[in-house]
Structure 1
């Protein structure tokens, strides 16, 4: 028993000597790059008059934001990529997959933002074009994973408040459908939520911290056994990406908090939504991840309800969708809505860890 404990301490100590420094440094690097580059980015975009395009049928209070620079997601992604390249093990296949797919998503988001700025409207790419481009990237990514690792064909569900996990083996078609929709739904839900100052970035930070813990539990032989998770070798390296998101996100929030001096744009929201989705898929914690993303999913559901209600009755269920606009039109102050959504997001993260 003593020998087992002694070996365990050696393993833990080695992990933290090697990994703790890199984890801290990736956080510091991503935070520093974003914090110091965003002001330069803001000034440059002010001079070039590249600013947020406001919905004509949106809340009246939003027209005061029409000169606010957008596409700050470029700096967020730049800092994440630099810090991950500097401090992660680039021989790890998970790191390379995530960086590559996120880059493709950032191109879609950039095109969407670019169209909005050039065409001077709030639509950018139409929903069909955006989904089409995302679908190509998602299916390419999932098929590539399948070709390289056919052992991934399963999904697991945690029975709340127990250590029991139900594991389902999937056929290829079902696997593609499930993971296709996870990435599509979450990336676009983050995009829909990013409508108020700091509303989307803080839940992303919370979720990234949650994924940091889950990545460690999944990639550690002892903790994965304790929590009854499937052990996934080398998945602890995903902590580097999670902490780079946290660092960059906190620095961005410094400037994106109400009243925002910059917005992340679709280039940021779509890419970050894609990135956290892929992390959850790699560590096989999709069920817990969807609980964490509850605030994003609620926002998407509010839009779906609104569209269905209006299509069949020509009446609106909400004053405006997504849901945060409904509360705005009810007269609730923007900072109040933002903080309450943050609180709900934090509660969902805590609830996720309570049930395991």
Structure 2
């Protein structure tokens, strides 16, 4: 809103400093600061409100050290994250930008699903919350929405590199205000494509069309159907992975902050014609605006971590965890980096796999031997280390360190081919 207000004012008055709002870097910094301060300011008030309403976490005794001390800790703290990020996005981002619209829909969509799950658990005293099927329907519906928008919206395109002369390769695009004056103009069209980035290979672009076994008139249609199915799978997997990781104080919050910072870097590079050309990655027009969104999100996560760090004063609940995972997945898809998720979101992946392996092996051994056996002392994986006697802060800190290492590896893939 401030973004458009400043644009309106500068049409009629020479407002000092108004030019700063043209720059994504300035608006991103402002969004981060506002979201961080807002989270710190409202966090304590929301925690007190939740305590007065006795909205506390119900804890099952699983024999974990310090577990029962968390009983009664306020949950649904994801509200802090959502409120803190939405305000600066609405203030500083171009809210008519198609990428911002998709991210806002994603945030609200999964926020509602997560809130409904927490509401049923806390207020209706139903420990099961929303059924697994209902959650999946919510995630699949979001994936369908995102996939269709990427297919049908004329604003979501990739600009191809073309040879301007024998010595210069230049992206054909409308440049941002920061670079427009220094670049030659070109006149070719953008491309609607299902291409994405794939790491560790020289020509690092993978097109989902290679998965299409059909030829003929329906080839283009079937390719986009395949792409939409992949989008649905990614959103569901990452959202559930973040949900499973939310089991220790500050674990999901800290890991997510590392992941989102990395994705913010990718968005800035992909939305900047100079850096995209230098790094030989796809240039995605208008995607640079996503940096403002992600900066607000990072600020909200850091602000929430102030209260969620050990010992936690509040838990995020599914209101936070489902939304965080969905935001990460959709953001990665929009900047065409979803195939980097297994590396970047390695913590989420391992947590997911630990549960799947544990359940599958238990069922298999029960059928074969008459009693279920386990691979891990407990799943998800962070509880396995708790069972081994590691203190909770040590587990969380080491998971953060691993997340940072994975983030560095992910960024390095831009140059290792």
Query: What is the TM-score normalised by the length of structure 2?
Result: 0.78
Deviations 1:39-97 (A, max 9, x none): 00111111111011223446353121111101111111111111100000112110011
What pairs up with 1:247-262 in 2 under 5 angstroms? 247-262=299-314
Aligned equivalents of 1:231, 1:163: Cα separation in 2: 17
1:239 maps onto 2:291 in alignment: yes
What's 1:3 paired with?
none
What pairs up with 1:45-56 in 2 under 5 angstroms? 45-56=50-61
Contact 1:55 1:121 in 2 (8 A): no
Pick the structure with more helix per residue: 1
What pairs up with 1:1-356 in 2 under 5 angstroms? 18-57=23-62, 59=64, 61-149=66-154, 152-160=192-200, 164-170=203-209, 171-313=223-365, 314-356=372-414
Aligned equivalents of 1:132, 1:90: Cα separation in 2: 27
Query: What is the TM-score normalised by the length of structure 1?
Result: 0.91
Deviation at residue 33 of structure 1 after TM alignment: 0.9
Question: What are the ranges of 5 or more consecutive residues in structure 2 without an aligned counterpart?
Answer: 1-18, 157-190, 210-222, 366-371
Deviation at residue 152 of structure 1 after TM alignment: 5.0
Question: What are the ranges of 5 or more consecutive residues in structure 1 without an aligned counterpart?
Answer: 1-13
Aligned equivalents of 2:197, 2:30: Cα separation in 1: 34
Deviations 1:116-166 (A, max 9, x none): 113435431232221122222322332233222485542334342x65313
Aligned equivalents of 1:197, 1:152: Cα separation in 2: 43
Deviation at residue 26 of structure 1 after TM alignment: 0.2
Aligned equivalents of 2:360, 2:20: Cα separation in 1: 51
Aligned equivalents of 2:63, 2:232: Cα separation in 1: 31
- Aligned-residue Cα RMSD (Å) equals 1.9
Name whichever of 284-293 and 267-276 sits farther off: 284-293
Aligned equivalents of 1:351, 1:81: Cα separation in 2: 30
Aligned equivalents of 1:17, 1:271: Cα separation in 2: 29
Aligned equivalents of 1:58, 1:281: Cα separation in 2: 39
Aligned equivalents of 1:129, 1:251: Cα separation in 2: 30
SS in 2 for 1:200: helix
Give 1 or 2 for the bigger CA radius of gyration.
2
